[in-house]
Chains A and B, each alone.
Chain A
Amino acid sequence: MKIKERLKMFGGLLSSSTNLSIWSFTSDKELLFSTSNYKSEFSTFFSLSGCLDYVFSKSKLNKPIILGNSLDLFWIAETIDASSISEGFECVLIIGPIFCSDSSLISIEKSLSKMNLSINLRNEMLNILTDVPMISIESIHQFAIMMHYAIHEDVIKSRDILYQKKLKHDNGDDVDVAAVLILEEESYIKEQIFLRSIKEGNLVYKQLLDLDTYFGIDNDRNIQIDKIRSLKNYMFMLIGFCRSAAIEGGVPFKIAKEIEKKAFLKIEKCDTTSKVYFGFVETVEELVVEVRRSSNNPNISKDILECCSYIKSNILEPITLEDIAHEVGYSEYYLTKKFHKETGIKLIDYIKQSKIELAKIYLETTSKSVQEISELLHFTTRNYFNRVFQELVGMSPNKYRNSKKQLDDEVKNETV
């Protein structure tokens, strides 16, 4: 298949499956073509954010590059060499714009509300921005890899993808696009840990319940209806995830479903964002209480449960047995004996298990290397991390990551 046919096929697949737009600019920065519904708007946003100049300031992009702007809109770009196409001129292929998370659009909506714009103008801006698809970082990497294949018929890995080095924020700070994406990735990991803590009935979920940083708590009754609507929709989606986590944690389906239904009715009646938020918090608390009730083991004391919560909430810190003993007010010797007696496992093994559970999330959801994950979880060496992982999971971290990826691909293929 020739490059033009491959690109046509790639563009068609993108727009039909994800609503992602594909663009091409000549080396004179002239727009050659675009599949976007908002050509002039998004090409101007791309240009104003300095991305177009950045792409052409590089001599030639032989690998895909991820670019971003201060509104957390992202694009993927790569050069098509003049010799590759019959027209004989160099051009740049671009995919985007893309949002990486709901919070970006919600944050823009919030800024637009503060600007007190006329309704027509505000709605026009929102119409344009809601046309931008929401895609995970992992999928952005996959599209970058596919784009490179469509251009060069060459297979690359996520680590080969380049990132725009500097991005100017409105406050004048320079930030790295990779760093912005890592923040998005971290919020996804946080969400996974949050859901896992619900499944375990672990009280650490309260520390992760800082959704106000994403949405803001606004008591103003004159708030725009569509803002409350989008928050309610987001909360309904989150409650659905929490309900599934609670069921996995042992709550009978009927009870979890009943809590969810009650929450939907209550939240739907809310007329401010703060009421929606507190309705959500109450629902999560109710689900966690049910998980704890269903898994309640009378042989485990409150102190040992607190000890488990402390470990889970400080898992990324270099915690020692001495710290934990100090936290629950026992001597190290007494705590380790008590822990073993009540839970049947050694305290040190429980810490290892908790770290490996988190390592599994990192392996499944990020592109961090095994070395990085091992360091993040304070294992003394990568070999030691590999050994513990192998003992507890029955396979090496790399094999675990590959098996999960393979499973995901199979599910995706079945869905297609």
Chain B
Amino acid sequence: MKLYSDIDIVVFLNDVKKCKNEVFFETDEGDKLNLKSALSQYVFFVADNNFKIIEKGQLMFEDEDLGILKKYLSYND
């Protein structure tokens, strides 16, 4: 699912930490990041800062964590 492009990354990633299951972000270049790992979180930030990946990539997560993540998902509009 797509994310809003203007999310506060630090707040978003802190919310990801609260999810019960793994949360992945896949860029349009095929880089797959496990957003619950610290190193992947840093890569995610650097990637968006330099290559604006958020607007082009997809977020993947379990339904159980939808409650935490739905405010960041652009399909809600």
Most buried by A among B14, B38, B49, B51: B38
Bound-complex Cα distance A265 to B33 (A): 40
Task: Tell me whether B39 and A108 are in contact (CB under 8 A).
Answer: yes
A128 adjacent to chain B (CB < 8 Å)? yes
Cβ proximity bits B54-69 to A, threshold 8 Å, 1 near / 0 not? 0000000000000000
Q: What is the size, in residues, of chain A's interface with B at 8 Å between Cβ atoms?
A: 23
Question: With A40-B49, A71-B38 in contact, do A121 and B10 touch (Cβ < 8 Å)?
Answer: no
Closest residue to B42 on the A side, CB-wise?
A45
Task: Tell me whether B43 and A125 are in contact (CB under 8 A).
Answer: yes
Task: Tell me whether B46 and A124 are in contact (CB under 8 A).
Answer: yes
Bound-complex Cα distance A116 to B33 (A): 10
Q: How many Å from the CB of A107 to the closest CB on chain B?
A: 10
Task: Tell me whether A44 and B45 are in contact (CB under 8 A).
Answer: yes
Closest residue to B13 on the A side, CB-wise?
A48
Q: How many Å from the CB of B34 to the closest CB on chain A?
A: 9
Task: Tell me whether A118 and B46 are in contact (CB under 8 A).
Answer: no
A21 adjacent to chain B (CB < 8 Å)? no
Bound-complex Cα distance A40 to B43 (A): 13
- For A108, the chain B residues whose CB sits under 8 A away are 39
Q: How many Å from the CB of B10 to the closest CB on chain A?
A: 5
Bound-complex Cα distance A71 to B36 (A): 14
- For B47, the chain A residues whose CB sits under 8 A away are 121, 124
Question: With A121-B47, A124-B46 in contact, do A48 and B30 touch (Cβ < 8 Å)?
Answer: no
B-binding residues in A (CB < 8 A)? 40-41, 44-45, 47-49, 69-71, 108, 111-112, 115-118, 120-121, 124-125, 128, 170
4 A-B pairs with least C-beta separation: A70-B38, A118-B29, A44-B45, A117-B31
